[in-house]
Structure 1
Amino acid sequence: MKKTTIFAAIGGVGIAVLAIFLIAADHIDSPSVEGTTTDIADLYAFEGNNPDNTVLIATIQGPLAPGDVTNNAAFDENVLLEFNIDNTGDFKEDLVIQAIKRGDSMYFFGPVAPETQGLSSIVETSGPRHRVKISTSENVEVTEEDGMKFFAGPRRDGFFFDFNRFNKVISGEVAPEGFLPPAEASDFFEDLNVLAVSVEVPNSMLGTAPAHVGGAVGINGLPPAYNVWVSAKRKQ
């Protein structure tokens, strides 16, 4: 992997990370991205089992039938997936964790301060480097090194949405009844998969979180939070 390789952003989604579970979803993209190997489905960020760690998960290329993702060929070697972390509150990436496929493995770089910010990136080989073999539907591979954990492979889509009812609502077929109550709703994604890339990282490697973007809310206010977003960037 050459450090001079340039990757340009195709799409991204972001959230603020608290010590609770948060998610940002983007299952429908523009025609230039939808259905491609750069199509981002969800970004998850939450406190790990160790409360001093943060877990970052990006899912891509969803929805997929389980039989579509049984080998490592599903990931694209020309796509760089990049977790961006803002720890100063200026909404610019101060650190990045990058993931890119090579052969049967996913290679992770970072967290490291990026040499460039914004829409273009290079593979940041100057920081920490780790590797995990890409999992299949039958064999799950997890690498644990230097206090970090890594995974790449197919997982069940965690997004819940009654898509069929949604289509009836927007078409006016069931107006004004609207959506069904939770007990009656049907999860369109229940039997579908996505490709997931996951990293668990000690907060000590991410720096001190800035004040929450939401400001002081409630009696005790909101705790500090990293601003996190994920980008899918294609080799130029």
Structure 2
Amino acid sequence: MKKTKHLGKAFILAAFVGLLIAADHIDAPDVASSYSDITDYYAFQGEDTNNIVFVANVKGLMSPSETASASFDENVLIEFNIDTDGDYIEDLVIQATPRDGQMYFFGPYQPATTGLNSTINTGAPTATATITPYGKEPLITTSNGMMFFAGPRDDPFFMDFARYGEIISGKASGFNNPGSDTFAGTNVLSIVVEVPKNKIGSTGTINTWVESKTKS
């Protein structure tokens, strides 16, 4: 299954112990409010400090009623890219693609192609996770020391857009504490993978970014 349309944005995580947060809730018209629109990407050290966690959120700004009927797009591949040697080309990928209420995960493994085009390994998936229904306890799959989740979650990103507008227009000098959360009461669809660090290299430093790609 070949993927050709590049819809994601690249971000860098400087070290295993670092934390990256990137938000892009209001995107270009081609992907805005679609299941290929990446709203946030998080990469951080797990509660088990031997692990690293990758989180991709898509389809932002969903109301509870919209979330109840939301589902991942079976024509969209989410790909976590991992560069272990500092050349900003993915050495390993973790791929997630939905089918019939399940999220199929592949990797981490060396990709057959890099850049804008991707192919999915034709072998058995690394893990299959049942997509958690809205309002239910998270269904987490464990396989080969890794953990996997897919399903709706409350949007964790905090931003006071009204105050931000006042700041950039010169009407305010800074944010209020705590401010007003623009994303309160809205949801996203999340894909979460927790991986032992020894499965993605031992250099102590990686670059990582996430992409959504549509089926050609």
Q: TM-score by structure 1 length?
A: 0.85
Aligned to 2:85: 88
Work out whether residues 164 and 175 of structure 2, in 8 Å CA contact, stay in contact via their aligned partners in 1.
no
Secondary structure at the residue paired with 1:204? helix
In the alignment, which residue of structure 2 is the partner of 1:233?
Answer: 213
Aligned-pair CA distance for 1:128: 5.3
1:181 and 2:181 are equivalent in the alignment: no
Amino acid of the structure 2 residue aligned with 1:83: F
Residue in structure 2 matched with residue 15 of structure 1 by the alignment = 12
Deviation at 1:98, TM superposition (A): 0.1
Gaps (5+ residues) in structure 1? 210-223
Gaps of 5+ in 2: none
1:74 aligned counterpart, secondary structure: coil
- Aligned residue identity for 1:187: D
Matched AA of 1:57: V
2:202 counterpart of 1:208: yes
> 1:97: how far off?
0.2
RMSD over aligned CA atoms reads 1.7
Cα deviation, 1:204-224, whole Å, max 9, x if unaligned, reads 110123xxxxxxxxxxxxxx4
Cα deviation, 1:135-159, whole Å, max 9, x if unaligned, reads 1122221101110000001111111
Cross-structure match for 2:22: 24
Q: Normalised by the size of structure 2, how large is the TM-score?
A: 0.92
Structure with bigger gyration radius: 1
Match of 2:188 in 1: 194
Pairing 1:153-164 to 2, within 5 Å after superposition: 153-164=151-162
Q: How many residues align?
A: 214
Q: Larger deviation: 13-22 or 132-141? A: 13-22
**Aligned residues: percent identity?**
43
Which structure 2 residues correspond to residues 104-123 of structure 1 after superposition, within 5 A?
A: 104-123=101-120
| Amino acid in structure 2 at the alignment position of 1:192 | T
Deviation by residue 1:85-137 (Cα, 9 ceiling, x = unmatched): 00011000000000000001100000000000000101123475210000112
For residues 163-209 of structure 1, give each alpha carbon's deviation from its aligned partner in whole angstroms, at most 9, with x where no partner exists.
12223444x4xx342333223x1011121111100000111110123
